[in-house]
Chains A and B, each alone.
Chain A
Amino acid sequence: MKDVNENNAGKLSLEELEVLIEKYFEGETTGEEERCLRAELSDCAYRSSLIDDCLVAMGYFSVGRRAEREKTVRARMTLFRRAASAAAMTAVVLVLGLTLFKSNEVLVEDDCIAYVGGEKISDKDKVIAMVESELSSIGETVSEDRNSIMDELSGIKGILSE
Chain B
Amino acid sequence: MKRVVTLILMCVIFTLTMNAQDRLQVLKLFGRYRALPDVVEVHVTGKEAKSVKLDVYRSLSMPATIDEAKKVQQVVVKDGVKAKEKEVEYRGGQLYYGFYVLSPIVKYDAKRNRYLFFLNQSLAKKNPVDRLIVIYMEGKADVDYIKGLIRK
Which of A23-31, A45-53, A102-110, A153-161 faces chain B? A102-110
B46 touches A142 (CB 8 A): no
The answer to the question of B115 belonging to the interface, with a C-beta cut-off of 8 Å to chain A, is: no
A114 touches B40 (CB 8 A): yes
B121 shortest CB reach to chain A, Å: 5
Chain A 52-98 interface residues, beta-carbon cutoff 8 Å to B: 81, 84-85, 88-89, 92, 96
B15 touches A96 (CB 8 A): yes
B48 touches A128 (CB 8 A): yes
Q: How far is the CA of A92 from the CA of B14 in the complex (A)?
A: 13
Query: In this complex, what residue of A is CB-closest to B56?
Result: A107
Task: Please give the number of chain A residues whose Cβ is less than 8 angstroms from any Cβ of chain B in the complex.
Answer: 43
A111 touches B126 (CB 8 A): no
Which of B26-34, B66-74, B76-84 faces chain A? B26-34
Q: Residue-by-residue, is B130-152 near A (CB-CB < 8 Å gives 1, otherwise 0)?
A: 01010100000000000001111
B42 touches A130 (CB 8 A): yes
Specify which chain B residues have a CB less than 8 angstroms from the CB of A141 in the assembled complex.
Answer: 119, 121, 124, 127, 129
Q: Residue-by-residue, is A95-134 near B (CB-CB < 8 Å gives 1, otherwise 0)?
A: 0100110011101111111111110000010011011001
The answer to the question of B113 belonging to the interface, with a C-beta cut-off of 8 Å to chain A, is: no
Task: Please give the number of chain B residues whose Cβ is less than 8 angstroms from any Cβ of chain A in the complex.
Answer: 49
Specify which chain A residues have a CB less than 8 angstroms from the CB of B57 in the assembled complex.
Answer: 131
A81 shortest CB reach to chain B, Å: 6
Query: In this complex, what residue of A is CB-closest to B59?
Result: A134
Residues of B at the A interface (CB closer than 8 Å) are: 1, 4-5, 8, 11-12, 15-16, 19, 23, 27-28, 30-31, 34-48, 56-57, 59, 61, 97, 117, 119, 121, 124-127, 129, 131, 133, 135, 149-152
State the 4 A-B residue pairs at the shortest beta-carbon distance, nearest first: A110-B46, A118-B35, A115-B34, A144-B126
Q: Can you list 13 A-B contacts with CB-CB less than 8 angstroms, sorted by A residue number?
A: A81-B1, A89-B8, A96-B12, A103-B28, A108-B46, A113-B42, A113-B43, A114-B41, A115-B41, A124-B48, A130-B40, A130-B42, A139-B152
Residues of A at the B interface (CB closer than 8 Å) are: 81, 84-85, 88-89, 92, 96, 99-100, 103-105, 107-118, 124, 127-128, 130-131, 134-139, 141-145, 147-149
